[in-house]
Structure 1
Amino acid sequence: MHKILVFIVTLITTFSFALHKKDAPNKHLYYALAADFVVSTPQELTNALSAITAGGTIFIREGSYVFTSRISISKSGTSVNLISILPHPDNTGRAKLDFSSMAENSSNRAITLSGSFWHIKGIDIFGAGDNGLFIGGSNNLIEFCTFSECKDSGLQIGSGGSNNTILNCDSFNNADSAVENADGFACKLDAGTGNKFIGCRAWQNLDDGWDGYIRGADNITTTFTNCWAFKNGYLKNGTIGGGDGNGFKTGGSDDKLLKHNAIYKNCLAVGNVFDGFDHNSNRGNVELYNCGAYGNGKNISFSSSNIANTLTVKNSISLSGTSSDSFSATTTNITNNSWQNGLIANAADFVSLDINLLSSPRKVDGSLPDIDFMKLVPDSDLIDKGVDVGLSYNGIAPDLGAFESITLGIDNFMFEQAIFNYPNPFSTETHVVFHTKATTTITISIYNLMGVNVFNTTKKTYPAGKNSIILHRNKLASGNYLLVLEGNSNQRTSRLITIQ
């Protein structure tokens, strides 16, 4: 799903900018959207935000943008016509929005996004007097952004904000002057449900990496995939602050009765001052699949006070915590972990335990860096000791921890060349053509630009060589879509455009 989302946001960027390139290849494939803007000053950005309409894009040039006042965004796009803020394609650096001249005050959030269906990509938000970005709207996509040295949580979701996706973002060195508050990311208080964090990192935030404390909401669900929380509770200078210092605070509430359901997949909690995965009297359902916790005060902490409803922990690793882990809940399902079935995890199981690797630069597309941290050595007894939890794996069973010991890259997948479909755009039907190296079972799916699956074929086995199928439009609405061909170990993607 992570690869699908990365392709979707790349696709949105390509569609929007191609309309404005005179030499754009295949420009006959694109249909006109709302007016776009290119900005290079704070005032130009403010003006563009006022004038932009659904389907439009603001291309922001690299450089420093100094703001002395807040930015409020209340207008909305639609599910098929997002409003976008994207890096200008000619950029070689990033755009930094600097709010450090604003006083520390709870009213001085840098950007408040109460609108919905926005895509914001590739900007750095720095030095806000409160939150760097506060999201109260829904169905927004925030991609490859950073939030640093803000006086409260770098990015916070609240005011009923739901179904937002935070993709490949970093939040670090956020702290208030009282040295007791500011998280990396916070989906808390009166947040809505269905929010997702994918490929995000939070480090050296004064309070928590992620805070899920709720007040005014109940029984919401937040999902975390491939997220890393490390060194939280430390200040930028490396000293311990006065905050809580948890990696992932799963929930909590004033009356200790509210439920914040949380699902963690392939996540890491490392070197945080207090807990790696923290209960905090959350009364909801918490699930950890293929996660890793190393060197926290307590790696996994679910206490017997104000007990969680359910706790599921599978295929996970707990290593070198200062205190013993605890796994209390009304119902527990804890199997196939590094402390069970006669297994003992130790440093010899891993290629590296150098925490500093976790803050390595991201790849050009914004995805997490390829590092050796907590990757299993070839002879580790943690390989193939997991149980199938619905995540992809190699070998006879999943490995324990966040990383599979043998990862098949996209170049190892079965397609000899990119898939394509014609005609494109199409109004009634389109032919999908692809090549396979060997006889392969494939599922064909279509997603809209928000990552929602709108069509699936049943699995079918295709022979080696060139294959072709016909897709009928049926009731598919006009717009842009992502075509995904998926086999046993990887996937290929292409784009579709339907018209009346």
Structure 2
Amino acid sequence: MKKKLLIYTVLLKCIFSYSQTTVNSPQELTSALSTITAGGTIYISDATSSTYTFTTRISITKNGTSGNIISLLPHPNNTSRILLNFSSMAENSTNRAITLSGSYWHIKGIDIFGAGDNGMFISGSNNLIEFCTFSECKDSGLQIGSGASNNTILNCDSYNNADSLVENADGFACKLDAGTGNKFIGCRAWQNLDDGWDGYLRPANNITTTYENCWAFRNGYLKNGTIGGGDGNGFKTGGSDDKLLKHNAIYKNCIAAGNVFDGFDHNSNRGDVTLYNCSAYSNGRNINFSSTNIANSLTIKNTISISGVSGGDSYSATTTNITNNSWQNGLVANASDFVSLDITLLSAPRKADGSLPDIDFMKLVPGSDLIDKGVDVGLAFNGTAPDLGYLETGTLGLKNFNIVENFYNYPNPFSEKTTLVFQTNQVSKLHLSLYNIMGVKIIDIAEKTYPVGKNTITINRNNLASGNYLLVIKGSDNQKSSKIITVK
């Protein structure tokens, strides 16, 4: 008994040894950011007000570690989202709302509004920005640069960003002097004056950026709906002043719709670009890779392109691998293949956990000849082969996925092992994975079929470092996730 008490005492010390600070004002927030240490958490409270007004930028310079990240989160008792309002800032390149030069941060659930330049500029590495919004800033809502690498932007929205000259401001930008290994997952960019995503380089070269389940729509339009003077691309894959630099880009399950110019844009990018299971609809040109300043390689598979406004698509590169798409193998994609082509559905509210909404936009109708016409590219699918487009049809066992007693796993935090408990209402083929906070897969449990009812799986800690991890349970058209914590 004494031994058990000693273990529990040590465990509690490990759990509560990190600082936790609750702030109630802009002044308290800036003070906490200057004193927080690795492993600490700052909670922003809405007890006094959910709007925090700033006249100068917030600089985040402290560093966490891979095992002890620093968290900036809304307080668990909040009843409204936290808004950081920078609208009193003058429009100026020095007036970014938040500059994040620190590394190993997790920033979640904050709305950033009205900055005089970027809403957030990231120059640090190994950060996770989750479920945040960036709107009405005078330059890109969120920009990654200055060598920043291995950052993950998860379930964030960026919209209505525009400068007074009506020619600049993207939704998201990983560009100019950015580092490699940055990821955008489950993000949306719409009605930004310039591009949804901008990958233009100066002077960085041969970097790789990944985009998964990202939606870019109606970029190139102003908030009032008129066309501005920006480029108006959904995803600008790259480009550079000398037209020689390589920005390698990987797009999986992404949507480009209703953008003024290109959906997926070459812009003289000399790198390697891959599109898997993407959907492009009603852009100026849906996919535009020209034969001028040609890309090194272009791979497009399982992708839909329909109703380009300004002309046909182009797929030029030194090396191409373009198969099993909606314009090949005798297929003809048209409006009858889809439940809806209403672009306004793309801006529907997110789910409570920040994940993308379930919508009917470009969802294939039963009987569409685009179903099961893809080729296996390593993404989960239902049926004999993948469907074309960003959304796989069919029920794959997670739509009726329930959590027993509101827990994914117990104990949590854990020091040796934890038990995952879940319940299915039908026989379900599931794949379980554990990721570190930067999105790197640490543990992979082979896909298997689970019976109806309660299921349990034990996960041993083995050599996992102390820290936060994301447990993901995935089928082919849905997934569940939960943060788990390990301690020594």
1: CA distance between counterparts of 2:81 and 2:476?
A: 37
2: CA distance between counterparts of 1:367 and 1:491?
A: 10
Partner in structure 1 of residue 346 of structure 2: 358
- Cα separation, partners in 2 of 1:369 and 1:274, compared to 1, 3 Å: same
Of 363, 373, 379, the residue aligned with 1:391 is: 379
Partner in structure 2 of residue 191 of structure 1: 178
Instruction: Please state how far the C-alpha of 1:410 moved relative to its aligned partner.
Output: 2.2
2: CA distance between counterparts of 1:366 and 1:427?
A: 29
Letter in 1 for 2:164: S
Partner in structure 2 of residue 371 of structure 1: 359
Partner in structure 2 of residue 453 of structure 1: 441
Of 90, 93, 98, the residue aligned with 2:85 is: 98
Of 301, 304, 319, the residue aligned with 1:331 is: 319
Letter in 2 for 1:405: T
Q: Aligned with 2:356: secondary structure?
A: coil
Partner in structure 2 of residue 342 of structure 1: 330
Partner in structure 2 of residue 22 of structure 1: none
Check conservation: 1:286, 1:311, Cα contact below 8 A: yes
Instruction: Please state how far the C-alpha of 1:293 moved relative to its aligned partner.
Output: 0.7
Q: Deviations over 1:258-278 (max 9, x none)?
A: 000001111111111111100
Q: Aligned with 1:367: secondary structure?
A: coil
Partner in structure 1 of residue 37 of structure 2: 53
Check conservation: 1:414, 1:438, Cα contact below 8 A: no
Q: Aligned with 1:313: secondary structure?
A: strand
2: CA distance between counterparts of 1:352 and 1:487?
A: 24
Check conservation: 1:418, 1:434, Cα contact below 8 A: no
Partner in structure 2 of residue 40 of structure 1: 24
Q: Deviations over 1:436-480 (max 9, x none)?
A: 889987766443333333334566788888777765544333344
Of 121, 133, 144, the residue aligned with 2:108 is: 121
Check conservation: 2:397, 2:429, Cα contact below 8 A: no
Partner in structure 2 of residue 475 of structure 1: 463
Matched, 1:316 2:300: no
TM-score by length of 1: 0.87
Check conservation: 2:69, 2:467, Cα contact below 8 A: no
Letter in 2 for 1:309: N
Structure-to-structure mapping, 1:65-464, within 5 angstroms? 65-322=52-309, 323-408=311-396, 410-412=398-400, 427=415, 445-456=433-444
- Cα separation, partners in 2 of 1:115 and 1:350, compared to 1, 3 Å: same
- Cα separation, partners in 2 of 1:380 and 1:418, compared to 1, 3 Å: same
Instruction: Please state how far the C-alpha of 1:187 moved relative to its aligned partner.
Output: 0.3
Letter in 2 for 1:37: T
Identity of aligned residues (%): 74
Letter in 1 for 2:312: S
2: CA distance between counterparts of 1:425 and 1:270?
A: 42
2: CA distance between counterparts of 1:454 and 1:398?
A: 26
Instruction: Please state how far the C-alpha of 1:428 moved relative to its aligned partner.
Output: 5.1
- Cα separation, partners in 2 of 1:267 and 1:446, compared to 1, 3 Å: closer
1: CA distance between counterparts of 2:330 and 2:320?
A: 20
My pick for the range that moved more, 389-398 or 484-493, is 484-493
Check conservation: 1:417, 1:434, Cα contact below 8 A: no
Instruction: Note the aligned Cα RMSD (angstroms).
Output: 2.8
Letter in 1 for 2:390: A
Instruction: Please state how far the C-alpha of 1:55 moved relative to its aligned partner.
Output: 1.5
- Cα separation, partners in 2 of 1:498 and 1:197, compared to 1, 3 Å: closer
Instruction: Please state how far the C-alpha of 1:417 moved relative to its aligned partner.
Output: 8.4
Letter in 1 for 2:73: L
- List alignment gaps of at least 5 residues for structure 1: 1-26
2: CA distance between counterparts of 1:68 and 1:439?
A: 55
Check conservation: 2:391, 2:477, Cα contact below 8 A: no
Check conservation: 1:96, 1:126, Cα contact below 8 A: yes
Instruction: Please state how far the C-alpha of 1:484 moved relative to its aligned partner.
Output: 5.3
Partner in structure 2 of residue 8 of structure 1: none
2: CA distance between counterparts of 1:429 and 1:363?
A: 31
2: CA distance between counterparts of 1:321 and 1:299?
A: 5
Instruction: Please state how far the C-alpha of 1:208 moved relative to its aligned partner.
Output: 0.6
Q: Aligned with 1:357: secondary structure?
A: helix
Letter in 1 for 2:45: R
2: CA distance between counterparts of 1:349 and 1:458?
A: 34
Q: Aligned with 1:137: secondary structure?
A: coil
- Cα separation, partners in 2 of 1:483 and 1:158, compared to 1, 3 Å: closer
2: CA distance between counterparts of 1:124 and 1:422?
A: 32
Check conservation: 1:361, 1:369, Cα contact below 8 A: yes
Letter in 2 for 1:56: G
Check conservation: 2:24, 2:44, Cα contact below 8 A: yes
- Cα separation, partners in 2 of 1:47 and 1:249, compared to 1, 3 Å: same
1: CA distance between counterparts of 2:81 and 2:430?
A: 39
1: CA distance between counterparts of 2:226 and 2:414?
A: 60
Check conservation: 2:298, 2:320, Cα contact below 8 A: yes
Q: Aligned with 1:156: secondary structure?
A: strand
- Cα separation, partners in 2 of 1:331 and 1:42, compared to 1, 3 Å: same
- Size of the aligned set, in residue pairs, is 474
2: CA distance between counterparts of 1:140 and 1:98?
A: 22
2: CA distance between counterparts of 1:360 and 1:440?
A: 28
TM-score by length of 2: 0.89
Partner in structure 1 of residue 6 of structure 2: none
1: CA distance between counterparts of 2:475 and 2:364?
A: 25
My pick for the range that moved more, 37-46 or 226-235, is 37-46
2: CA distance between counterparts of 1:360 and 1:108?
A: 31
Q: Aligned with 2:184: secondary structure?
A: strand
2: CA distance between counterparts of 1:376 and 1:433?
A: 33
1: CA distance between counterparts of 2:245 and 2:101?
A: 25
Partner in structure 1 of residue 8 of structure 2: none
Instruction: Please state how far the C-alpha of 1:173 moved relative to its aligned partner.
Output: 0.9
